[in-house]
Amino acid sequence: MTGARKVLVTGGAGFIGANFVRYWSDKYPSDRIVVLDALTYAGNRANLESVEDRDTYRFVHGNILDPAVIGDTMQREAIDTIVHFAAESHVDRSIHEPDAFIQTNVIGTNNLLMAARKHWIDSDSAPANHLFHHVSTDEVYGTLGPGDPAFTEQTLYAPNSPYAASKAASDHLVRSYHHTFGMQVTTSNCSNNYGPYQFPEKLIPLMIVNALTGKALPVYGDGSNIRDWLYVDDHCRGIDLVMNKGRVGATYNIGGNNEWRNIDIVNQLCSSIDAAFAANEQLAVQFPQAPAAKGQKTESLVCFVADRLGHDWRYAIDATLAESELGYKPEEDFESGFQLTLNWMLQNEGWWRAVMDGSYRDWISRNYSAES
Ligand code: NAD
Ligand code: DAU
């Protein structure tokens, strides 16, 4: 698409969505960005602090389960581009309470597609161009064994958790709107992200917070499970490439070429925290409960706990298509991306404490006018 776009970012107050909004508004400053987010436990307006004052930005507190708020936002803002991040995203939660995943990830995605069809395809005042970009996951492909080739876009879907199944359903819905109604869509399926603003329930931020506060580091099973880690900015660049250069109707895998066993991640994290405390005496004052503050090894907190039900053993992304067609290449390796993440967590204790106890809401109401 050419010219300034009017972009609706669903789930823009979550981890990847907020990083994407910052990335996009820096790179395309004349685009209008409207964030639609229900502010669940995982959505924090504090994540969007750096864009809150921009004229081109607006926040809408709304749920994708509410067709009226979607339709109203699309109409009022003359939206021509949707980047769809909003989802329930945590596998453990989907094992305990799958219903919310079906609601948001399946019904919510369908609501957005219905609204997009109404405004972009069935309307007399439809924009000249439109694009629906759907952000999905490698988990739709199921699990790999030790010698299996990495997931390609041709790998058959075999989702194993309620989360993965709900994302698979949403991928199929997006595909069907292209095939049946001619909607201009793209989809990206991505591996495990990490970086600033990730809610401390996911492996890396949870382990950092627990290590700094002297709590156990719970490794599921024997810790041999493998994930393919991708720094969040590399994911944002990948989405940008798919949206601007990708074939309409196509799906692209985005990965980090960074397969790590969970136990190796946790051990690496422990030694990086020990090294950070050794290099900066102030950290022992700031985090007195951390083993590293008492001359002990962070590794002493590691404990092996009962495995996740249905725990997928290995994910690995083959991003050859995105590399060859779009020129995609991740810029951070795990060491550099992890150091950026650890430094950010050390410097933003206020953020992680506030999002974990919900007090960021008070912080936002002190700093910003009422939500729209
Ligand atoms: P997140 O849980 O951090 O954020 C989700 C956001 O969606 C939150 O701001 C939340 O308030 C919002 N939301 C949830 N339900 C909503 C609803 N009904 N209406 C409106 N907003 C709602 O998630 P994330 O890790 O940033 O993931 C974003 C997207 O990327 C998801 O679609 C996820 O499936 C996909 N993804 C994530 C990863 C990863 O490693 N985190 C990897 C691949 C794909
Ligand atoms: O692969 C992409 C997916 O990555 C995304 O689609 C999901 O939204 C995202 O949550 C993530 O799913 P995972 O289940 O892989 O991420 P999580 O951080 O929950 O766990 C990573 C690995 O670490 C996994 O093998 C389970 C393990 N783990 C996790 C936690 C929270 C532990 O061993 N201990 C823990 O406390």
Q: Domain residues of the chain, as ranges? A: 6-195+230-257+315-333+357-367
299 is catalytic: no
In angstroms, the CA 236 to CA 160 distance is 26
Which of the ligands is closest to the CA of residue 103? Answer: 1
Q: Whose CA is nearest to atom 12 of ligand 1?
A: 11
3-state DSSP percent of the chain in helix, strand and coil, to 5: 45, 15, 35
DSSP category for residue 290: S
The number of the ligand nearest the C-alpha atom of 226 reads: 2
Q: Which fold has domain 6-195+230-257+315-333+357-367?
A: Rossmann fold (3.40.50)
Indicate whether this model's pTM tops 0.95. yes
Q: How far is the CA of 135 from the centre of ligand 1 (A)?
A: 9
Q: What H or E segment, with its residue span, contains residue 304?
A: strand 302-305
Q: What are phi and psi of 6, to 5 degrees?
A: -115, 100
Distances 230 to 141, 154, 237, 338 between C-alpha atoms, Å: 17, 21, 11, 10
Angle ∠(204,303,350) on CA atoms, nearest 5: 40
- Tokens 């309409």 — which residue? 248
Q: For residue 325, count other CB atoms closer than 10 A to its CB.
A: 15
Length of the chain: 372
Which pLDDT belongs to residue 372? 47
| Alpha helices per DSSP H over 28-186 | 67-77, 91-96, 99-101, 109-120, 162-181
pLDDT, tens only, 173-216 = 999 999 999 999 999 999 999 999 999 999 999 999 999 999 99
Residue 371 predicted with pLDDT over 60: no
For the question of residue 139 being annotated catalytic, the response is yes
% residues pLDDT > 90 (the chain): 94
C-beta separation of 213 from 345 below 8 A: no
Query: Could you read off the pLDDT of 248-302 as tens digits, one per residue?
Result: 999 999 998 899 999 999 999 999 999 999 999 999 999 999 999 999 999 999 9
Rounded to whole angstroms, how far apart are CA atoms 170 and 93?
18
* Residue from 89, 103, 161, 170 to probe ligand 1 pocket by mutation (most atoms less than 8 Å from CB): 89
> In whole numbers, what is the pLDDT of the chain averaged over residues?
95
CA of 202 to the centre of ligand 2 (A): 6
